Amino acid sequence: MKFEVFNRIFKKRATILVRPFFILFFISISATLYAQFSFNEISKAKYHEVLKLKSVTGLALSQQDQTANGINIYIEHLAETIKMLVEENPALLERYKQQSEAAENKVSGLNPHSPYYLFVIGEIKLQRAFVKLKFGEEISSMWELRLAYKTLAENAVKHPDFLPNNKSIGLLKILIGSIPEKYTWIVNLMGMEGSVKDGLEMLRILSESSNPFATEAKILRIAVLNYILGKESGSEKAVRDLYLTDKDNLLYTFLYASICMKNAHSEEAFGILENSPYNNTYLNFAYLQLMLGDIYLQKGFYTKAFHLYKRFLSDYRGVNFKKEAYYKIFLCYWLNNEDNKAMLILPQIIKEGNAIYDGDKYALYFAENRDFSDKNIMKARLAIDGGYFDSAADILEKLSPKNFHSTKDEIEYYYRLARLYHKTDKISEAIKHYKKTIDLSGYKKLYFAPNAALQLGYIFRNQNNKDQAVFYFEKALNYKDYYYKNSIDNKARGALNEIKKI
């Protein structure tokens, strides 16, 4: 039972960096030539197309070339992995696993003295592990992760100066290092060692080098800092610089827009997504429609948001994010005062998709429990999330906690004020209202108090008040049985690990 719980926790750690989760696994290949591991012009061109998220069905190479060159085998595998992680089509899973095993077998027959030999084998295992994890094969994926870790670690011993090892080993160290302490015996038993500090340092060294992997190490490091450690400073500029170098790269477009939205800069993200290169030459990246719908919802353009959510549901082949999309369709109706239509969506939230990720879990909880907030508080929440602070302030200024019908609405009112003050740099007011949120809260399954504690931890960390930061990060971890717990725990644990230099 404990091992199953650990699997679920590791899955959350592995997927927290961004949605969808393929960002973690993009690999570059060094141009240095090794026997049976080398570039040619066709593979170079195809490799760049893969990293742009272009729809790639084959390398147009002869079977002899594919067999003789491990780089070409790898790029072919990378293309299929990215397709699975972006499109999430379960009908293709068995075919993918067979192709992945075949690719690994081909590489195993190549030059074992090349630093790419174990590296490529380890990367194939790692990519296959994350695809299995994505599709719910948790036990099998954990075994693959263990084998990938050991293969990459062996390569680091044999070729200690081979910098590309830093990317994948660094990532695994961060993911393993953010596992709660009570489960560390499991990773130790599996022969894996984790450290957020060491993993970040490995990514930093690679990202600051001239190695071809540097760009992707930058992307991973930015994602870790944003989505695990809650450090936003400078990350948007770094991603913007990548985006400006190649606006034809859909990966850069997605990551830039995603981080802007996380940091309450939805208007900037709106411009990025509106000018996206996305067309039928790229993979079916339906998630972009969900992102754009979220911005329209934040702006209060409910009809436009509704059509984008419907388009997402029509184009998407996976099972995640469906409950969340239907919940947001509910909001489009409900906030537009079409309550009768909104109520008809609740059974679809319950019926459609899976409830693995926090957004889907909350949507299911909401539909089953009819946990309605005050409409004006919901509008303020959405505006704050998008960075439309003037609109949010206008809404909140007209409200009074005396007029709310439930204690939940009163708690959320103070929490939304705290979020608004925090995001507009009124830190003393933010601290006061976060603490009031915590004092008023006693509800299970409400995330306001634990997230208030997390945000207080960030504030005190930024003020170099380590003791108070640790106190509030640990307080955030102590809350039980509420939705969004996985996400908040990930961030609090990651921040604690960094502060304590674990």
Reported as a single tens digit per residue, the pLDDT across 321-376 is 999 999 999 999 999 999 999 999 999 999 999 888 888 988 999 999 998 889 99
Give strand pairing partners of 54.
282
Percent of the chain with pLDDT over 90: 56
Asked if 122 and 176 sit in the same domain, the reply is yes
Range of the domain at 140: 2-200
Q: Which of 200, 218, 243 is the last residue of a domain?
A: 200
pLDDT beyond 60 at 221:
yes
List the CATH number of the domain containing 390.
1.25.40.10
Comparing C-alpha atoms, which of 48, 102, 43 is closest to residue 71? Answer: 43
Asked if 365 and 383 sit in the same domain, the reply is no
Asked if 123 and 162 sit in the same domain, the reply is yes
Q: SS3 helix, strand, coil % of the chain, rounded to 5?
A: 70, 0, 30
Q: How confident is the model at residue 20 (pLDDT cuts 50, 70, 90)?
A: very low
Query: 285 in helix, strand or coil?
Result: coil
In a domain, 119, yes or no: yes
Q: Which of 200, 230, 254 is the last residue of a domain?
A: 200
**Mean pLDDT, rounded, for 249-256:** 92
In a domain, 86, yes or no: yes
Cα(474)–Cα(477) distance, rounded to whole angstroms?
5
pLDDT at residue number 183? 53
Contacts 24+ apart (CB under 8 A), 96-103: 96/131, 97/128, 97/131, 97/132, 100/124, 100/127, 100/128, 100/131, 103/73, 103/74, 103/76, 103/77
In a domain, 267, yes or no: no
Give strand pairing partners of 34.
37
Cα(60)–Cα(66) distance, rounded to whole angstroms?
10
CB 157 within 8 Å of CB 118: no
- Determine the residue type at 96: Y
Q: Is 405 exposed, middle or buried (0-12, 13-18, 19+ CB in 10 A)?
A: exposed
Cα(453)–Cα(479) distance, rounded to whole angstroms?
10
**Mean pLDDT, rounded, for 457-485:** 92
Asked if 417 and 362 sit in the same domain, the reply is no
Asked if 459 and 332 sit in the same domain, the reply is no
In a domain, 29, yes or no: yes
Query: Which residues are CB-contacts of 6 (< 8 A; sequence separation ≥ 6)?
Result: 179, 183, 186
CA distances from 179 to 137, 322, 490 (A): 19, 28, 8
pLDDT at residue number 51? 83
Give the torsion through C-alpha atoms of 303, 308, 311, 316, to 10 deg. -140
Asked if 354 and 400 sit in the same domain, the reply is no
Q: Please confirm whether the linkage preceding 20 is cis (ω < 30° from 0).
A: yes
**Mean pLDDT, rounded, for 231-257:** 85
pLDDT beyond 70 at 391:
yes
Query: 282 in helix, strand or coil?
Result: strand
Asked if 379 and 473 sit in the same domain, the reply is yes
Asked if 404 and 462 sit in the same domain, the reply is yes
Asked if 335 and 478 sit in the same domain, the reply is no
> For residues 367-391, b (16+ Cβ closer than 10 Å) or e, as one string?
beeeeebbebbbbbbbbbbbbbbeb
pLDDT beyond 90 at 178:
no
The one-character DSSP state at 319 is S
Distance of CA 114 to the CA centre of its chain: 33
pLDDT, one tens digit per residue, over 97-129 is: 999 999 999 999 999 999 989 999 999 999 999
Cα(231)–Cα(196) distance, rounded to whole angstroms?
14
In a domain, 243, yes or no: no
pLDDT beyond 50 at 61:
no
In a domain, 490, yes or no: yes
CB 295 within 8 Å of CB 318: no
Asked if 94 and 114 sit in the same domain, the reply is yes
- Determine the residue type at 180: P
CA distances from 145 to 75, 297, 436, 460, 487 (A): 20, 39, 43, 36, 22
pLDDT beyond 60 at 1:
no
Entry pTM = 0.84
pLDDT at residue number 188? 62
CB 22 within 8 Å of CB 78: no
Q: How confident is the model at residue 31 (pLDDT cuts 50, 70, 90)?
A: very low
Number of domains in the chain: 3
CB 396 within 8 Å of CB 416: yes
Asked if 436 and 465 sit in the same domain, the reply is yes
In a domain, 32, yes or no: yes
Instruction: Pick the most confident of 15-19, 196-200, 223-227, 408-412.
Output: 408-412
Q: In the numeric block, which tokens belong to residue 24?
A: 């973690």
First to last CA, the chain: 27
In a domain, 397, yes or no: yes
Q: Which of 333, 349, 369 is the last residue of a domain?
A: 369
- The pLDDT mean for the chain works out to 86
Asked if 21 and 121 sit in the same domain, the reply is yes
